[in-house]
């Protein structure tokens, strides 16, 4: 979203039972990677089910500027003709990544080991986010980075043509940093290795294999993983069916659970084991969620979710080791916790402080504005559930997940809940309002 775009306040009100058989947008993580990897492969990759949100469209434009051919058919099928690893061209202009944190960090990894200079910028939210966490390991390959203070975009990446392989231990589990290092290794002679303390999303490893890259993954004694690949590699075009995004499915799923007698089916959801932390947590809280029609597509597990609101949720302790598998879902989990009986403790949420906004602070402020009892202890968020008074205005900080989470909160609250700007939702879930309204959600422009 442009920082100059007029804000669009939106409110939600108590809805009653929700129902529907729905398909949320394609998975954002897989959509980003399908365009990037297709652009690095030899041949033409056909992509169906791509998320056509602003973040992913920014990645499509970035790959065009780097020399790939990226087109869309009228039926929504995308075609990406790649240039091959090592053959990216220097962009003629600045690449604007919009709000795409995943996009800019993974793109930095790709261009770091190509002998080109690339300038990246983004919207007001992205330009507040730290890039040092990827710039530091990518600099070890020989790339140079120029950023604003505290490592913030706009950012120039001066790639190297003499890349040296790196062994990098992640200070914390991060799929973005892991992926950036691995993608730099694609055009590096020798073996690049990433050691992660806890398993993070492995879409990059799975999709690289789908494109013909040999990726070695070992489980360490401490439960972490060592991931390595040997470059330079040649990637071969491989068609992709993008499953729907579990992070987007989270919103109708929680909305159904907090509204008694709801019954919602969510189709074709990515059920990668490193993405299902929220589903596991909600089931532990007593949520009635059934997985049906489970199958495999392009290395990913896919299935349908049948969700009903027949059980009252109960508070639990969400263990720290689950955080990497549901890091984007904590804001909407906090909403579920606001309706649960008793106390829910979400442990070790440090990573939330460096997302599109300081999500931990933003969630706490939104809960406060709507009368939900909560507290923060260190990096833990503790929510005491019950009746949600509502009636508050929530500042989204240009964060799509904060906006959607608190609109879900309002669907069961005593008074309507408003968010100061619904525009950022388009970055990941362009049809959120219409899809939810078709299920029975009540939204209205807030004056």
Enumerate the active-site residues: 328
Tokens of 425: 């939702």
- Helix-then-strand count for the chain, H and E: 12, 24
Whose CA is closest to 189, among 154, 248, 229?
Answer: 229
Please report the sign of the dihedral spanned by the C-alpha atoms of residue 201, residue 244, residue 425, residue 409: negative
Q: What are 41's two structure tokens?
A: 């492969």
Question: Which residue stretches of 51-146 are H helix?
Answer: 54-65, 101-112, 132-139
| Alpha helices by DSSP H, 170-238 | 175-185, 203-210
DSSP result, 379-426: TEEEEE-S---B--EE--TT-HHHHHHHHHHTTSSSB-EEES--GGGG
Cβ-based neighbours of 372, under 8 Å, separated by 6 or more: 338, 383, 384, 385, 388, 389
Task: Decide: 72 and 117 in contact? Cβ < 8 Å.
Answer: no
- Give the integer Cα–Cα distance in Å for 210 and 202: 13
CA-based nearest residue to 56, from 5, 104, 111, 103: 103
Q: Contact at 8 Å (CB) between 403 and 422? A: yes
Helix (H, G, I), strand (E, B) or coil at 238: coil
């Amino acid at each position: 979203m442009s920082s100059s775009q007029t804000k669009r306040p939106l409110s939600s009100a108590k809805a009653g039972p929700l129902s529907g058989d729905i398909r949320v947008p394609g998975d954002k993580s897989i959509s980003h990677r399908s365009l990037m990897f297709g652009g690095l492969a030899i041949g033409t990759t056909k992509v169906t089910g791509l998320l056509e949100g602003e973040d992913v469209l920014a990645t499509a434009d970035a790959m065009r500027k780097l020399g790939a051919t990226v087109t869309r058919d009228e039926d929504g099928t995308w075609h990406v003709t790649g240039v091959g690893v090592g053959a990216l061209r220097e962009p003629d202009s600045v690449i604007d990544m919009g709000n795409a944190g995943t996009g800019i960090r993974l793109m930095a990894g790709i261009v770091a080991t190509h002998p080109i200079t690339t300038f990246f910028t983004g919207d007001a939210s992205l330009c507040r986010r730290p890039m040092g966490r990827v710039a530091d390991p990518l600099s070890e390959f020989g790339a140079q980075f120029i950023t604003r203070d505290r490592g913030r975009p706009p950012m120039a990446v001066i790639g190297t043509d003499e890349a040296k392989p790196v062994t990098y231990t992640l200070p914390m589990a991060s799929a973005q940093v892991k992926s950036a290092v691995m993608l730099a290794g694609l055009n590096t002679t020798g073996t690049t290795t990433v050691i992660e303390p806890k398993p993070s999303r492995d879409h990059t490893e799975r999709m690289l294999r789908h494109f013909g890259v040999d990726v070695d993954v070992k489980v360490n004694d401490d439960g972490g993983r060592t991931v390595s690949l040997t470059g330079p590699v040649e990637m071969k075009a491989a068609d992709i069916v993008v499953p729907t995004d579990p992070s987007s499915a989270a919103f109708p799923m929680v909305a159904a659970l907090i509204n008694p007698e709801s019954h919602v089916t969510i189709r074709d959801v990515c059920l990668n084991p490193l993405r299902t932390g929220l589903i596991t947590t909600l089931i532990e809280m007593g949520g009635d969620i059934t997985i049906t029609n489970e199958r495999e597509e392009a290395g990913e597990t896919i299935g349908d979710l049948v969700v009903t609101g027949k059980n009252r949720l109960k508070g639990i302790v969400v263990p720290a080791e689950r955080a990497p598998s549901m890091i984007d879902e904590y804001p909407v989990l906090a909403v579920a916790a606001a309706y649960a009986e008793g106390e829910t403790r979400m442990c070790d949420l440090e990573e939330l402080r460096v997302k599109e906004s300081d999500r931990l602070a933003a969630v706490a402020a939104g809960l406060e504005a709507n009368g939900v009892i909560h507290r923060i202890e260190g990096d833990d968020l503790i929510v005491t559930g019950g009746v949600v008074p509502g009636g508050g205005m929530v500042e989204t900080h240009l964060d799509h997940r904060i906006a959607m989470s608190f609109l879900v909160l309002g669907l069961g609250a005593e008074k309507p809940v408003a968010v100061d700007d619904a525009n950022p939702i388009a970055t990941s879930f362009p049809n959120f309002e219409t899809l939810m309204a078709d299920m029975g959600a009540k939204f209205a422009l807030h004056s």
